[in-house]
Structure 1
Amino acid sequence: MVGFLRAFTAASAVPAAAAAVAAVAFSSAAPYPSSRLRFPLLTSLSPFASSSAALRTPNAVPPMAAAAAATTADLSAPDKATALPELTTEFMVDMKCEGCVTAVKNRLQTLEGIKNIEVDLSNQVVRVLGSLPVKTMLDALHQTGRDARLIGQGNPDDFLVSAAVAEFKGPVIYGVVRLAQVNMELTRVEATFSGLSPGKHGWSINEFGDLTKGAESTGKVYNPPDYLSNKPLGDLGTLEAGENGEAQFSGSKEKLRVVDLIGRSVALYATDDRSDSGIAAAVVARSAGVGENYKKLCTCDGVTIWESS
């Protein structure tokens, strides 16, 4: 199995130079201007920590109906979905006692679309199984008055499942695009942007991670040779920014595999038909999956994970 995974990864990876650019771009990300929008911090890609066994004890929530995901954008048909597929999402949350655990659980249980909540107080980790966007869950955690940030997302029962992130660091357009594999035939895509001009903007996953000329040097829209459709697989449709320049998206894309996207890029365009050369781009970098990022302290200064840059 290990040999198969290595061969599969090697066959689908883009040139090493692009992957190196992705690693540097991800590790040096600048903080997002909003105090409530946090990015995943790739501090560790170690296997499941021994202390993660505590997370295996379920704290079941009464069944709730899956909520349709509200979006301000849509993926190209026929891949558009009205609700996000279920995934496990992990957050690092500032919890000090059982009272904190109760407060966090009670708040999350009010959200429709959450099936199960597991809390590991010793590691300050909250694991949520459900179909809600990351931002919705983060906002709920922040409403308890506690610091929280995303540390992992995926399916812990499938070793081929992975996650990735592309961060837009300004100086005008800021944002984050998260990609998480639900299974080998479906990927969840979530995005939040600010600094866009009001109106519709095309966006896509492009072939290369070369940002020397911004979006212009990222190549064509990514489309594997075995994908047969009227539109390239990397076509993400249209984003619509409001008057405040912000746009959000939550949806899913069939046939898209995260492992094939590492080292490529997500590009934004001024027009909805992508007829311009592009206004911003960010490299797609590997992000932590479930159980891979339980590290609470920064190795350099001992600062807690939600306070480190």
Structure 2
Amino acid sequence: MKNMNSIKIEFAVQMECQKCVDSVRNALHKVEGIRNVQVSLDQNSVIIDTNLSHLKIQEIIENTGKKAVLKGYGEDNYSAVSMLGGNSGYSFGDVIRGVVRFVQIEKGCIIDGTIDGLTTGYHGLHIHECGDISNGCESVGEHYNPYHTPHGGPDDPPSKRHVGDLGNIMADNNGRVTFRMINDLVDVSSIFGRSLVVTSKMDDLGKGDDPASKIDGNSGKRLACGIIARSSGLFQNTKRICACDGLTLWDERDKSVIKQKRNKSALKMNNV
């Protein structure tokens, strides 16, 4: 029986022989939460059905010595992605980087992300009403709240929370947070063109005593944000070479890894 919280994810994987295929397939088959593994040498592709985060799957594949690049997330057009910081988003001090993906399922929306460069501890995560980052995170408007309800947490009844109230995420000692959550209010088709924001403090989920608690949860400064845009589902991303710079998927992926390492070094030097 299919797990209703699982989705299909497609990776481009640099494989050169049947031994590579067997190595990747065997590594994935050993992991609980992964099912229906399809590995194609001709297409250099791996498709799995899973309830694990896409980063976890990527790590498993790359532990076999093969480079992996996410190509498709979810099976239909109701998939979205937000790039926090970097060239596509904004982050205070330019040290925070993150990728958060959204995909519609029967029970709501799976939100799957990884964010680096945060201080250790809890941080609020919210969808905001506007996709305007011309003035950093100050121009994205307030929490997405189409039903004009008070601020709350993701476990509160719909009448006591904003659609954009995603709760808290917790960064580890290295400043990284990896999460996968299911939200029953978010409809992916309604958040295209809006923005995702991570804040400096823990969201009190509307449980505080002052008026601001029912507005934004006293979650502090908006540290990083990114516009929520449509993303590729399965078989929708056929790119093998980047049109902007001529890099292959694998070269582009290595370039991204090097940039992430530089950002982490800057973070340590600045003690952010």
- Please give the range of the TM-score, normalised by the shorter of the 2 chains: 0.7 to 0.9
Counterpart code for 1:165: V
Aligned-partner Cα distance in 1 for 2:224–2:55: 22
Matches within 5 A, 1:288-303: 288-299=232-243, 303=247
Which residue of structure 2 lines up, in the alignment, with residue 146 of structure 1?
Answer: 66
| TM-score, length basis structure 1 | 0.67
Distance 1:207 1:301, change over 3 A: closer
Q: Please give the per-residue CA displacement for 1:38-85, whole angstroms capped at 9, x wherever unaligned.
A: xxxxxxxxxxxxxxxxxxxxxxxxx9x97xxxxxxxxxxxxxxxxx81
% identical equivalent positions: 34
Which secondary structure does the structure 1 equivalent of 2:186 belong to?
Answer: coil
* Aligned residues: CA RMSD: 2.3
Counterpart code for 1:244: N
Q: Tell me the matched-pair count.
A: 224
Q: Contact 2:53–2:113 at 8 Å: present in 1 too? A: no
Q: Contact 2:114–2:178 at 8 Å: present in 1 too? A: yes
- C-alpha deviation, 1:299, in angstroms: 4.3
Distance 1:105 1:257, change over 3 A: same
- C-alpha deviation, 1:231, in angstroms: 0.7
Q: 1:258 aligns with which of 188, 194, 202?
A: 188
Which secondary structure does the structure 1 equivalent of 2:26 belong to?
Answer: helix
Q: Contact 2:147–2:162 at 8 Å: present in 1 too? A: no
Counterpart code for 1:175: G
Distance 1:300 1:205, change over 3 A: closer
Distance 1:301 1:270, change over 3 A: closer
Q: Contact 1:113–1:130 at 8 Å: present in 2 too? A: yes
Mean Cα deviation higher: 191-200 or 124-133: 191-200
Aligned-partner Cα distance in 2 for 1:102–1:152: 22
- C-alpha deviation, 1:255, in angstroms: 2.9
Counterpart code for 2:83: E
Which secondary structure does the structure 2 equivalent of 1:137 belong to?
Answer: helix
Which secondary structure does the structure 2 equivalent of 1:213 belong to?
Answer: strand
Which residue of structure 2 lines up, in the alignment, with residue 74 of structure 1?
Answer: none
Counterpart code for 1:295: K
- C-alpha deviation, 1:247, in angstroms: 1.6
Q: Contact 1:211–1:282 at 8 Å: present in 2 too? A: yes
Matched, 1:186 2:108: yes
Aligned-partner Cα distance in 2 for 1:238–1:92: 31
Counterpart code for 1:88: K
Which residue of structure 2 lines up, in the alignment, with residue 164 of structure 1?
Answer: 80
Matched, 1:244 2:171: no
Matched, 1:125 2:55: no
Mean Cα deviation higher: 144-153 or 191-200: 191-200
Which residue of structure 1 lines up, in the alignment, with residue 197 of structure 2?
Answer: 267
Which residue of structure 2 lines up, in the alignment, with residue 10 of structure 1?
Answer: none
Aligned-partner Cα distance in 2 for 1:284–1:254: 18
Name stretches of at least 5 consecutive residues in structure 2 with no aligned partner: 150-157, 204-216, 256-272
Which residue of structure 1 lines up, in the alignment, with residue 24 of structure 2?
Answer: 104
Q: Contact 1:216–1:277 at 8 Å: present in 2 too? A: no
Q: Report which structure shows greater RCO (CA 8 Å, sep ≥6).
A: 1
Distance 1:115 1:243, change over 3 A: closer
Which residue of structure 2 lines up, in the alignment, with residue 176 of structure 1?
Answer: 99
Which secondary structure does the structure 2 equivalent of 1:267 belong to?
Answer: strand
Which residue of structure 1 lines up, in the alignment, with residue 56 of structure 2?
Answer: 136
Q: Please give the per-residue CA displacement for 1:159-188, whole angstroms capped at 9, x wherever unaligned.
A: 5x42111112251111111111123x4111
Matched, 1:116 2:32: no
Aligned-partner Cα distance in 2 for 1:303–1:214: 29
Q: Contact 1:90–1:127 at 8 Å: present in 2 too? A: yes
Which secondary structure does the structure 2 equivalent of 1:229 belong to?
Answer: helix
Aligned-partner Cα distance in 1 for 2:148–2:185: 11
Aligned-partner Cα distance in 1 for 2:249–2:116: 24
Name stretches of at least 5 consecutive residues in structure 1 with no aligned partner: 1-62, 67-83
Distance 1:198 1:123, change over 3 A: same
Which residue of structure 2 lines up, in the alignment, with residue 219 of structure 1?
Answer: 141
| TM-score, length basis structure 2 | 0.76
Distance 1:216 1:300, change over 3 A: closer
